[in-house]
Amino acid sequence: ISACLVGSEMCIRDRYIPDIALHCKKLHKMYFQAASNTSAENIALLCSVNPELQHLCAYKQLDCTDDIIVGIAQSCPQLRTINYSSVNSLTDIAILALSEHCPMLEELDIGRSLLVTESALLQLCRRCERLKQLAVARQSLSVSACKEIQSSSRYVYVILR
């Protein structure tokens, strides 16, 4: 199995995620369509046993913290896309961990996290040379920072939510 899709129509309960983690250790993609039904800790558990993970989408996950993202970043250095667009509690700690541990990152959506600063996002753009798309809260980036990102040697599509 190289992909795991957990959607609202599926009957996988949060308590079964640790058992899935025991048997699925080569996942490249994980999509949690109704992530509010899956704890952030169990998503992190699945990530911790899947170091080859490249795509993580938990856009309805609400209880994710910096510590969870730091653990995911340290466990999954091959991450290319991350979508935690509904989380509003992430800070620079999470962004700096991603920039340090996930150099292959291409897409990041943290569109509701108001606590992330411009300097952390600029550092992420500098360190993650493959970054193509960045979706952040409108308040996180100034016009001049957007221009700085856009004028880098590569094109990064910035989405302000």
pLDDT, mean of each 10-residue run, the chain (161 residues): 52 70 82 71 90 89 90 96 92 97 96 91 93 89 84 74 76
In whole angstroms, what is the distance from residue 82 CA to residue 102 CA?
11
> Which pLDDT score, from 0 to 100, does residue 11 have?
46
Instruction: Provide the terminal-to-terminal Cα distance of the chain, rounded to the nearest Å.
Output: 34
Q: Could you tell me how far CA 40 lies from the centroid of its own chain?
A: 12
> Which pLDDT score, from 0 to 100, does residue 65 have?
93
pTM: 0.86
Q: Across the beta sheet with 133-136, what order do the strands follow?
A: 3-6, 29-32, 55-57, 81-83, 107-110, 133-136, 157-160
From the CA atom positions of the chain, what is the Rg in Å? 15
> Which pLDDT score, from 0 to 100, does residue 27 have?
83
